[in-house]
Amino acid sequence: MLKTDSIFHFTGEFKLESGGSLLDFQLKYTTLGQLNKERNNVIWICHALTGSSDFTDWWKELFTEGTPFNPNDYFIICANSLGGCYGSTGPLSLNPKTNHPFYHEFPPITNRDIVNAFDLLRESLGINKIHTLLGGSLGGQQVLEWAIIKPEAFDHIIPIATNAFHSPWAIAINEAQRMAIEADSTWKENNPRAGTDGMKAARAIGMISFRTYTTYKQTQTEKNLDTLDNFRASSYQRYQGQKLSNRFNAFSYWVLTKAMDSHQVGRGRTSIEDALKNIKAKTLVIGIDTDLLFPIQEQKFLAQHIKGAQFAAMHSAHGHDGFLVEFDQFKSIVRNFLTKDFKKEITL
């Protein structure tokens, strides 16, 4: 099945929730499969914090033959988030006002801004109805915002390991990461690699919230009882920081963690509960029982306040990262949701 990468260009002022604006923007998006004649076989994915539009790179096990989202049956699409660094307009893009990269001048954006940009792409593709919208973590936040803003556009939504508003705990973790970036002496520079060493430390901080005590015990326990330094867990943290720095940049990390922190579906609306009631799509909320960053009570809250929503919990030793690992559980849960009636709560 042919995979295609494309660029959507929007010309004209794009107003942002903060009061600022972009004079124009572009979104890079990846598609797999073909639209049917009715144009109603669309599966739309919203990626996580450091993801790209190429979902076949980080979620490929969910979009193959024999899965609930078989590309022979569906047209699958994912757009790189506004503010990202994988082809969409972000801090490294040229500022049309100055003809130089934005860098620190890139305006603050929110999940509402991001999904409003996605919706312009949807309209440009002539897609009136999306069969299923799904995403995890930051992507799950965007799923909720989009389903609230455009309730008629979605038949089904699947928000995973996410929340109605970002918690003080999670904001504190993100702030600690940004403090690490700020502590990098290069961060104030207008340079694509500014803040890179700080971002390595930020990622190491983040990894502790993505995984669990059990995960580290299973994978990073010392084999030599006499070790005094250079522990496996230490080298693992440095490896993860270097790995991210090879493919991402600190400016996008900064912008997108800020977007995550500002996530609040009740902002400017009557209440959080009323905002969630505006969702009309059939909803499956998925949580992970060991998630430290987005505790499972946050997903249960969503299921309680989205009309008719169903809830499922995945068991995982991997914590928040379980939604990128537990493919067999995920496929089974989604298949049941799309093809069968099941109880309000499923636990596999």
For the chain, the maximum distance between any two Cα atoms, rounded to a whole number of angstroms, is 66
Helices within 75-221 (DSSP H only): 111-124, 138-149, 168-182, 196-210, 213-220
List the catalytic residue out of 113, 291, 316, 318: 291
Residue 271 a catalytic site member: no
List the catalytic residue out of 93, 137, 209, 252: 137
Residue 81 a catalytic site member: no
List the catalytic residue out of 131, 305, 318, 320: 320
Q: What is the DSSP string of 257-314?
A: HHHHHT-BTTTTSS-HHHHHHT--SEEEEEEETT-SSS-HHHHHHHHHHSTT-EEEEE
Alpha-carbon distance of 85 to 164, in angstroms, equals: 26
Q: Distance of CA 80 to CAs 27, 77, 296, Å?
A: 6, 10, 27
Residue 308 corresponds to which amino acid? G
243-249-253-256 Cα dihedral, nearest 10 degrees: -120
99-102-107-113 Cα dihedral, nearest 10 degrees: 80
Residue 332 a catalytic site member: no
**Residues that are catalytic:** 137, 291, 320
